[in-house]
Structure 1
Amino acid sequence: MSLPRIRSLAAALLLAVATGPALATTAHTPSAQVPGVYHQQIGTLQVTALFDGTVALGRQELTGIDAGAVTRLLDHRYVPEDGKGLQTAVNAYLVQRGNHLTLVDTGTATCFGPGLGQVLGNLRAAGYDPAEVDDVLLTHAHPDHLCGLLDAQDTMAYPNATAWLSAADAAYWLDPASEATAPQGVRFAFALARKAVAPYEAAGKLRRFSPGQALPAGVAALDSHGHTPGHVSWKLDAGKGQAVLVWGDIVHFHAVQFAQPQAAFEADSDRTAAVASRRAMMAQAADGGWWVAGAHLPFPGLGHVRREGKAFAWVPGEFAPLPGR
């Protein structure tokens, strides 16, 4: 057989191989992402990040920084943005110490509509029964942090857990008198907060705490008020000098607020205090080498903070297999 003929046959075979399967098979189109679960062993603690979904926050909701600076900071950060705003994650964290399970924040449940409310399902996907949770630590009383105290039937999602809410946030968000004088844009949140905690309070499982009062073992509540009157960040002792800081709403716009901590969020109840708390939490986390877990950092929201001149930078955690796996 001549060389041109051999080449012709080879080309025909390659074409058949290339086109045959495409005609015979149908491309697989995923209908959903993997469960929003990520495990990180930190000292004696196993921390499981639980994805609740995303919300859109408009760049115009940043205050204390001019629009041009915001644009420059967002350039080449590739934060997804559509007509509604910048994609912003909502995360909660399950912390296991021995057999003790602590959930920090609970997500939105049914309060913010479709696309959110995934914490409870992801907790089950991670292999945990909600009835096993011993304590729920709330950073503050906004709907994306405490609505998940309830399930889809508006019953206790964590029936055996004690819920911990700062006395300052409880005094504000659970009081109808506060609602009457609050800015119009946040008034919807008061009824949601009262509804979420009601069955826990009726069962004697809601703990209002003030600085210096006893908390679950290995846990400290750091005052980081400003976003709300009683916002706290939870520091969990991981042994051997390690710690995990679950800091709630210290950051909403990660591409902007690490580099420019003075940039406040329109929804902060006291913007000056919120900026001071952000600087303080970032400084303590950076200087202490603490792990940080952020409610509105890109999932899984686990990593570290480093100083960068007079400002800071976010260092996402590296993917890590679990010990012994």
Structure 2
Amino acid sequence: MHPCSSFIKAGRLSLAAIAVALALPLAMPTGVAHAAAPQVQTQAPGYYRMMLGKFEVTALSDGTHAFPVDTVMRNITAAEIGRDLADAQLTKPVQGSINAFLINTGKKLVLIDAGAGVLYGNCCGRLLDNLRAAGYQPEQVDEVLLTHLHKDHAGGIVTNGKPAFPNAVVRVSQAEADYWLSPASKAAGPDFLSTFFDAAVNVTAPYMRSGRFQPYTSFGELTPGITAMPAPGHTPGHAMYLVSDGAQQLLVWGDIVHVAALQMPQPAATVQYDSSQEDARATRTALLKKLAGDHLLVGAAHIAFPGLGHVRQQGDGYAWLPVNYDGLPPAP
């Protein structure tokens, strides 16, 4: 008889009975064990598919990296960080996802952000492999839309100094390009961002040479179904992209949130990398309030993969509701 059976009374187990039962050894099956099979120790391919109207959306993982919350978070105390991480059952260093989103409109294949490539080391640079695992080839991408030119969003557009997406046009807001590609901006910027300026120049250069780096001068619809929207603060020309097919919409918001466990309950918390912490805080605060009311689907660059979900109000702050896993995305 199983040791739990003596505690079953009318279909119920008391907490004390469960504790005792779990402490008892279970009978081991007889025969030869097969535990000698080697462990795989790799993650599954990082892609997740869903339909947005007739558009196909594929979330792609570039990997995760240790986000040093103790040193880069601003406008939040160490005690608040410890409390909020404990509430989310997270420990330091927090693993931050680097997500990108591939949109197949049926007429164009558009990639929003491209991961870090080799710029963050061995943790990342997996986007191309995951894109291929998802059934696509880099040569099929028609456009790459960047939310901004930080390493972890733009680094993946090159491979060994050559375009990773050889047939694609790369687009970013003109204000973003003007800032990160300017020697004067680098000279005036903080020292810790110096390599970010260098990286922006290096990754855009191959596309400039081929005439495929084409910043947009005004926000609005860039291609049917995809609209660029301003979201200033994290960088001077930071953009979001609203993907729409009929009534179905997805907002790919870039770096509105870096650590959901901290910035959802406390939207005023900023990061060292924000060009304007005041603007970043104001943009995030207003956007979270709107999204909680509109229930709009969000694609987040740095929330746990696949980074697809909704925002809801929770007390004085907000909470993230990830999409329910769908093993068979419905046909449009």
TM-score (norm 2): 0.87
Task: From 67, 84, 88, give the equivalent of 2:78.
Answer: 67
Partner of 1:21 in structure 2?
32
Conserved 8 A contact 1:305-1:315: yes
Computed over aligned residues only, the root mean square deviation of the Cα atoms, in angstroms, reads 1.8
Task: From 70, 76, 88, give the equivalent of 2:87.
Answer: 76
Residue deviations 1:146-178 (CA, integer Å, cap 9, x gap):
011112x22111111111111111011011221
Structure 1 counterpart of 2:63, one-letter code: G
TM-fit CA distance, 1:79: 2.5
User: Which runs of structure 2 are paired with 1:1-325 in the superposition (5 Å)?
Assistant: 18-22=29-33, 26-60=36-70, 61-81=72-92, 85-151=93-159, 153-212=160-219, 215-239=222-246, 241-320=247-326, 321-323=328-330
Taking the aligned partners of 2:272 and 2:261, their CA distance within structure 1 comes to 16
Taking the aligned partners of 2:161 and 2:175, their CA distance within structure 1 comes to 25
Instruction: Tell me how many residue pairs correspond in the alignment.
Output: 304
Against the structure 1 CA distance between its residues 156 and 66, is the aligned structure 2 distance closer, same or farther, given a 3 Å change threshold? Answer: same
Taking the aligned partners of 2:48 and 2:219, their CA distance within structure 1 comes to 33
TM-fit CA distance, 1:31: 2.9
Against the structure 1 CA distance between its residues 19 and 154, is the aligned structure 2 distance closer, same or farther, given a 3 Å change threshold? Answer: farther
Residue deviations 1:52-84 (CA, integer Å, cap 9, x gap):
111112222211122212211111312243xxx
Taking the aligned partners of 2:35 and 2:157, their CA distance within structure 1 comes to 46
Structure 1 counterpart of 2:148, one-letter code: H
Conserved 8 A contact 2:62-2:98: yes
Structure 1 counterpart of 2:312, one-letter code: R
Structure 2 counterpart of 1:253, one-letter code: V
Residue deviations 1:83-129 (CA, integer Å, cap 9, x gap):
xx211111111011114111000001111111200011100110001
Structure 2 counterpart of 1:79, one-letter code: L
Runs (5+) with no aligned partner, structure 1 = 1-14
Structure 2 counterpart of 1:74, one-letter code: L
Taking the aligned partners of 1:255 and 1:236, their CA distance within structure 2 comes to 26
TM-fit CA distance, 1:43: 1.8
Indicate the larger mover: 265-274 or 27-36: 27-36
Q: Secondary structure at the match of 2:312?
A: strand
Seq. identity, %: 39
Taking the aligned partners of 1:302 and 1:148, their CA distance within structure 2 comes to 21
Residue deviations 1:9-58 (CA, integer Å, cap 9, x gap):
xxxxxx9x935322x66234113111011111122221111111111122
Taking the aligned partners of 1:213 and 1:55, their CA distance within structure 2 comes to 33
Runs (5+) with no aligned partner, structure 2 = 1-26
Conserved 8 A contact 1:80-1:87: no
Q: Secondary structure at the match of 1:90?
A: strand
Conserved 8 A contact 2:270-2:281: yes
Q: Secondary structure at the match of 1:244?
A: strand
Conserved 8 A contact 2:51-2:331: no
Taking the aligned partners of 1:95 and 1:19, their CA distance within structure 2 comes to 52
Taking the aligned partners of 2:109 and 2:229, their CA distance within structure 1 comes to 20
Against the structure 1 CA distance between its residues 203 and 213, is the aligned structure 2 distance closer, same or farther, given a 3 Å change threshold? Answer: farther
Q: Secondary structure at the match of 1:260?
A: coil
Conserved 8 A contact 1:51-1:118: yes
Against the structure 1 CA distance between its residues 271 and 155, is the aligned structure 2 distance closer, same or farther, given a 3 Å change threshold? Answer: same
Residue deviations 1:264-293 (CA, integer Å, cap 9, x gap):
111111000001111222233222221101
Against the structure 1 CA distance between its residues 295 and 192, is the aligned structure 2 distance closer, same or farther, given a 3 Å change threshold? Answer: same
TM-score (norm 1): 0.89
Structure 2 counterpart of 1:76, one-letter code: D
Partner of 2:18 in structure 1?
none
Taking the aligned partners of 2:102 and 2:210, their CA distance within structure 1 comes to 23
Taking the aligned partners of 2:90 and 2:114, their CA distance within structure 1 comes to 24
TM-fit CA distance, 1:261: 0.3
